[in-house]
Amino acid sequence: MKYLLDTDTCIYFLNGNQNIAKKLTQISEQKIFTTILNIAELKFGAYNSKKIQYNLSRIDEFKQRINILDDFSESIITSFAHAKAGLRKKGKTIGDFDLLIAAFAINNNLTLITNNYSHFNNISNLKSENWI
């Protein structure tokens, strides 16, 4: 099985969460991913913090240790649009970044690792786990 770390999981890891650190040591690095969108969210957090340079350097170190998906293929864009339309018809909305992150997970056959089930639980075909 391969995994995509959501932004919240990346933050927990960067802040020393032992459950996530332990789980990551049990899995081959080739099976752990995040997306360019998650990196953007991490960088926003860094620029919004009081320790901007410190947090940016932690993100740079993290980026060296993880596979980053950044190819916005037609299938990812189509999955995003399909999921957004389906959710809107049900009267549910989640942020576009979260929908795109889910589309990356679905199209790359990855299990999304997140603590934000409420953001993702209405997206069909998305596999997810919580390591917190």
Question: pLDDT of 40-71, one tens digit each?
Answer: 999 999 999 999 999 999 999 999 999 999 99
Residue 65, in any domain of the structure: yes
Give the domain range for residue 29: 3-122
Residue 51, in any domain of the structure: yes
In percent, the amount of the chain with pLDDT more than 90 equals 92
Residue 130, in any domain of the structure: no
Residue 127, in any domain of the structure: no
Please count the structural domains in the chain: 1
- The CA-based dihedral angle spanning residues 49, 52, 56, 57, taken in that order and rounded to the nearest 10 degrees: -130
CATH of the domain at 102: 3.40.50.1010
Residue 132, in any domain of the structure: no
Share the mean pLDDT of the chain: 95
Q: Is residue 17 pLDDT above 90, yes or no?
A: yes
Give dist(CA 116, CA 54) in Å, integer: 26
Amino acid at 36: I
Which long-range contacts (C-beta less than 8 Å, at least 24 apart) are formed by 18-25?
A: 19/131, 19/132, 20/131, 20/132, 23/131
pLDDT in the model for residue 117: 86
